Amino acid sequence: MLFSPFSKYRALFQGDGEKDAGSPSRPPLHAVGERLVPFLTRLIPLVSTGYMMLSSPFFKHFAPLSLPLARLVRPRGAWTPWLLWTLFSLWAAYHARGEDPVTHILLDHYAPVSLPLLVFGFTRAALGRESLRQACAPLVALGATLRRAAWSHLFVTLLVSAFATALLGAAVVAAAYPRYLPFPFSDAATTAYVGALGAMAYGGYFTLGATKGGRGWGLFVLLILDWLVGRGDGFLALWFPRSHVRSLLGGASVMGWSQSASTLALMFLALVTSGWAVRRVQR
């Protein structure tokens, strides 16, 4: 039997033994009270402490996160169609298992297609298919500052996107690796790390695009620019996440930059685009 912290109070509802072969005996009412009072004296302080913690200023800072999280989990979220690209990457990796190197599968399917589109879908869903300012309007109406509301949407977008793309990257590596070889834990961990880092850069990147236009149509513009310009290796490609993700996954580098430099570039893009998006929405 599993341990239960309330096991010793189970006697409140069970008899102490059987008087005869019939029904079990029940404790008298005063015995129930004697056992129930110590339980309540321990439970009430726990409940009051939990209420005080939830009403403290520390937890109030996380209240604005509820709106973008609710938009993400609602039925028919804006990110649902883009999950097809996730299944596409897994199918392509499984279909090419043992035939193509894992690096080619990551560079052909995961990095240029599934990673940006999945983050794009999460960003659109967290914003409710609106611009960043319009998405923050309900929180501002409830008393939150525009700056806090914008950072709340950014935090949820970056966190959920990084977690999802990291899992997808590790799953693609697992599906693409031949069965007769041991599981590549190091490759899966590296791909998950690169996917999470790229997702954070893409999250700030797309949120910045959502500050332009009535319904955040700037997202689509930046998505197209990332596909067209980020595929190169020149100076303009430095400013798009696709080129640095490609370099970290074993593809061509950007202007001869090392993988360490591309890692720093993705961190820089994530910070700059996120801060720029918050600054634009405050104007």
Q: What are phi and psi of 24, to 5 degrees?
A: -70, 150
- pLDDT for residue 69 is more than 80: yes
Residue 1 lies in a domain: no
Q: Is the dihedral of CA 234, 271, 273, 83 positive or negative?
A: positive
Last residue of a domain, one of 32, 54, 76: 54
Between 192 and 97, the higher pLDDT residue: 192
Output the pLDDT for position 237. Answer: 92
Lowest-confidence region among 31-45, 113-127, 217-231: 31-45
Residue 12 lies in a domain: yes
Residues 31 and 84 in one domain: no
Residues 48 and 68 in one domain: no
Lowest-confidence region among 59-63, 69-73, 180-184, 274-278: 59-63
Looking at this protein, which amino acid is placed at residue 180? Y
Residue 19 lies in a domain: yes
Residue 233 lies in a domain: yes
- pLDDT for residue 279 is more than 80: yes
Residue 40 lies in a domain: yes
Instruction: Write out pLDDT tens, residues 107-166.
Output: 888 888 889 999 998 898 889 888 999 999 988 888 888 998 999 999 999 999 999 999
The token pair that represents 182 in the structure block: 């041991």
Residues 49 and 69 in one domain: no
Mean pLDDT over each residue of the chain, to the nearest integer: 79
Lowest-confidence region among 102-106, 208-212, 239-243: 102-106
Residue 225's Cβ-count burial label (10 Å; 0-12, 13-18, 19+) is middle
Q: Are 123 and 160 in contact (CB under 8 A)?
A: no
3-state secondary structure of 76: coil
Residues 126 and 176 in one domain: yes
- pLDDT for residue 192 is more than 90: yes
Q: Are 53 and 61 in contact (CB under 8 A)?
A: no
| 3-state class percentages of the chain: helix first, strand second, coil last, to nearest 5 | 70, 0, 30
Looking at mean pLDDT, say which of 1-5, 7-11, 39-43, 72-76 comes out highest.
Answer: 72-76
What phi-psi label fits residue 255: left (phi over 0), alpha (psi between -120 and 50 degrees) or beta?
left
- pLDDT for residue 246 is more than 50: yes
Q: What percent of the chain has pLDDT over 70?
A: 74
Residue 186's domain comprises 62-281
Residues 47 and 74 in one domain: no
Residue 106 lies in a domain: yes
- pLDDT for residue 226 is more than 90: yes
Residues 46 and 130 in one domain: no
Q: What is the mean pLDDT of residues 89-111?
A: 78
Output the pLDDT for position 47. Answer: 57
Residues 170 and 200 in one domain: yes
Distance CA 44, CA 207 (A): 44
Residues 97 and 228 in one domain: yes
Residue 2 lies in a domain: no
Distance CA 63, CA 160 (A): 17
- Total structural domains within the chain: 2
Residue 35 lies in a domain: yes
Output the pLDDT for position 7. Answer: 46
Q: What percent of the chain has pLDDT over 90?
A: 33
Q: Are 177 and 104 in contact (CB under 8 A)?
A: no
Residues 113 and 136 in one domain: yes
Residues 192 and 88 in one domain: yes
Q: What is the mean pLDDT of residues 33-43?
A: 60
Distance CA 48, CA 35 (A): 21
Residues 155 and 26 in one domain: no
Residues 188 and 275 in one domain: yes
Output the pLDDT for position 16. Answer: 46
- pLDDT for residue 267 is more than 80: yes
